[in-house]
Amino acid sequence: MGTFEQVKTKKAHDPIEQGQILPVEYNSTENPLDSEANRAKLRKLQDWWYQARQALSASRFQMAIDEDFYDGEQWREEDKDVLEARGQLAQVFNLIKPTIDWLIGTEKRTRIDFKVHPRGESDRHPAEVKTQLLKFVSDVNRTGYHRSRGFADAVKVGVGWLEDGIRGDETDELLYSRYESWRHMWYDHLAVERDLSDARYIFRSKWTDLDLAQAMFPERAAALQACARSQNFYFEQNDEYFWNTDYAYRANENATTPYPIILDDAFNVDNRRDRVRLIECWYRQPEQVQIMKGNPAMKGLMFDKENPFMNQALQRGTASLYDTHKMVVWCAVFCNDYLLQDVKSPYRHNRFPFVPIWCYRKGRDNSPYGVIRNLRDPQEDLNKRRSKALYILSSNRMIADSDAFEDWDNAIEEKDRPDGALKKRPGADVRIENDTVLGSEHITIMQLDADFIQNSSGVTEENLGRETNAISGKAILAKQDQGSLTSMEPFDNLRFATQIQGENQNSLIEQYYTVEKSVRITENPEAVEFMEINKPTPEGVENDITASQGDFIVESQDFRESIRIAMFETIMATIEKLPPEVSIQLLDLAIEQSDLPKKDIIADRIRQVSGQIKPGTEDDPEVTEAQEKERIKAERGEAMEDAEMMARVAELQAKAKKLISETEENNLEKLGKAIEIAIATVLNKPLVKAADSLVKSAEAG
């Protein structure tokens, strides 16, 4: 790298970058990333970065306030000043937090299951192997916990983010899956699809210590050194405030950069570490590419001339290519005016590695918002009504003659004390009034605010398990159902995000899991089993992950906790009324609707007794073969039982005929009934013992 001269520069259009250290000169001949073509691309990326921050600034500002309301920061600074002036504390009665916690807790209790389905007959076993592999990877990466954090962001501020990719550290699991904070993410505001498949770009911005950034990009160490600066932590983490014109600013006497008025901010401290802001941009650009066709394992994939499997398929004639135009995903990283990386995405799924979890989106501009957004006004009004009611009920109004007191300051102080004593002049008129009616009105409106928060959020008192005016079980379930239906949209969006994330993960394992590996099967925790993948054998490769493609499918599951419990109780009540031979056939399905621990193991054991097979495996050849063997075995056993039964019937008939010949006429009717019952045993096995008993009774006279 050449020598850089560090100077202070200003950009009038971008207050964030004011005062930032930038190089005046650069040598474009020593690094390809500094070529004129790459400089032009960098300018386009910077323009997108500026547009994204500008377009999303108002939305992100409101999202930050939403998060503050969940955390109990619900008073404006000017309102706090008014309360402090009259001797009151800014008390917060946070009804939003338990509402959001119920939604978050419901997601945690009903985490989604999934399965990889085959695309062809020969892909059945590989699809099952991929299902087990993905579940193992999910356990190793703690994907469920990361997804819960993303969902929590979604219901609070409107969007949460998940990331899936491949790491270079071979000492850890190859595929990683993790949560990403919404504060680090910006996206194309013109995109309307929930999976951002129509977005041109996604940005991730993070502040990084200089030495870490230089370790990541050693060939750009000098450029990063030029960008480094000591920065106040607050500016680094909350730049959405700089983009909102409605936010209060205060001029700094010694700097041209304004800063927001923040009081008692625990993070507003001097940070003397040298740090740089790295901007990661995943973007799409149109290109002419070649697409594979013919080979089922590679159909629809972009041709990679470095891929040996694709080259072999073309040489053997099992696959062919066709030309088309496609939006190809690239990844660039830059810092200030320096491009640090610009490469084509290594992932053949050709998608962004980030998956958004939406809560709600505005019809006007598709900007996200969470459950809290519509609860802020009643929550803020509730806090203010409470403070006003408390002030009114603890204050007295005094009407008195102008000369009623010698010390008016003392009189004003004493009138509001519970044990106050007023010393007035003789003959002076003094009246003390307390407007309790107005205070009661404020309390009534407070209750209306609380009711609105619950009704509009869908989290009712019944959902929270609190005592209400609903007495009967059906009334409680009806109100739980109403609340659950109101809150279904965020859960449906979570299911969609899980589907997209699973498709990305499935594609990554089909692309990168090429070496031999032992995987723990997680479905049965009682019996630990392991499965070998990509294992070389004399016949070929056993459980070859890359040899086929599968489809990731999210398993159907009801998020509405109370409704699922009600469904279980209804099913069990129905089963109790059915004949035993029918009940046993439905019991496994009822158990799967419950919240019993190890319910999958219980259901499987019930199926072993009832002869049923697990739903979704009806077309599995191995399951079908095992079921056929059990059926044949059962038929043989029944045939033996039928032969024994027929022999017993014949014996009973012979005894009955003998008794008829030896019996008086008045006993003939009783013996005839015995014969009928004996013959009926052919159709109803449980009556054999009854018939035998009747005949023995007849023999006894």
The full 3-state SS of 451-474, as one line of letters, equals HHHHHHHCCCCCCCCCCCCCCCHH
Residue 334, pLDDT score: 95
Mean pLDDT of 527-535: 73
Whether 93 is covered by a domain: the verdict is: no
Q: Do 201 and 328 belong together in one domain?
A: yes
Q: Do 186 and 270 belong together in one domain?
A: yes
Task: Classify residue 576 by its DSSP letter.
Answer: H
Q: Do 584 and 663 belong together in one domain?
A: no
Looking at 71-123, list the stretches that DSSP marks H as alpha helix, in order from N- to C-terminal side.
Answer: 77-85, 96-109
Whether 216 is covered by a domain: the verdict is: yes
Whether 691 is covered by a domain: the verdict is: yes
In tens, the pLDDT along 451-460 reads 888 777 666 6
Q: Do 154 and 57 belong together in one domain?
A: yes
In the chain, % of residues over pLDDT 70? 66
- Is the pLDDT reported for residue 393 higher than 90? no
Of 621, 646, 665, the one marking the end of a domain is: 621
Domain count of the fold of the chain:
4
Q: Do 310 and 420 belong together in one domain?
A: no
Task: Classify residue 207 by its DSSP letter.
Answer: E
Residue 350, pLDDT score: 92
Residue 245, pLDDT score: 43
Q: Do 654 and 586 belong together in one domain?
A: no
Least confident stretch, 443-447, 573-577, 696-700:
696-700
Q: Which of 186, 227, 243, 233 is nearest to 334 (CA)?
A: 227
Whether 131 is covered by a domain: the verdict is: no
- Is the pLDDT reported for residue 535 higher than 60? yes
Q: Which of 288, 315, 313 is nearest to 302 (CA)?
A: 288
Q: Do 606 and 690 belong together in one domain?
A: no
Q: Do 286 and 248 belong together in one domain?
A: yes
- Share of the chain residues as helix, strand and coil, in percent rounded to the nearest 5: 50, 20, 30
CB 21 within 8 A of CB 226: yes
Whether 128 is covered by a domain: the verdict is: no
Looking at 297-416, list the stretches that DSSP marks H as alpha helix, in order from N- to C-terminal side.
Answer: 308-316, 376-393, 408-415
Q: What predicted TM-score, i.e. pTM, was given to this entire model?
A: 0.69
Residues 175, 177, 179: CA angle, nearest 5 degrees: 160
- Is the pLDDT reported for residue 181 higher than 80? yes
Whether 42 is covered by a domain: the verdict is: yes
pLDDT band at 246 (very low <50, low <70, confident <90, very high): very low
Cα separation, 676 vs 664, whole angstroms: 19
Whether 134 is covered by a domain: the verdict is: no
Q: Do 292 and 408 belong together in one domain?
A: no
| b/e code 387-426 from CB counts within 10 Å (16+ = b) | bbbbebbeebebebeeebbeeeeebeebbeeeeeebeeee
Q: In terms of residue numbers, what domain contains 671?
A: 634-699
Mean pLDDT of 77-95: 87
Q: Do 295 and 183 belong together in one domain?
A: yes
Residues 327, 330, 331: CA angle, nearest 5 degrees: 155
Cα separation, 685 vs 227, whole angstroms: 89
Residue 254, pLDDT score: 42
Whether 139 is covered by a domain: the verdict is: no
Q: Do 290 and 412 belong together in one domain?
A: no
Q: Who contacts 652 (Cβ-Cβ below 8 Å, separation ≥6)?
A: 674, 675, 678, 681, 691, 692, 695
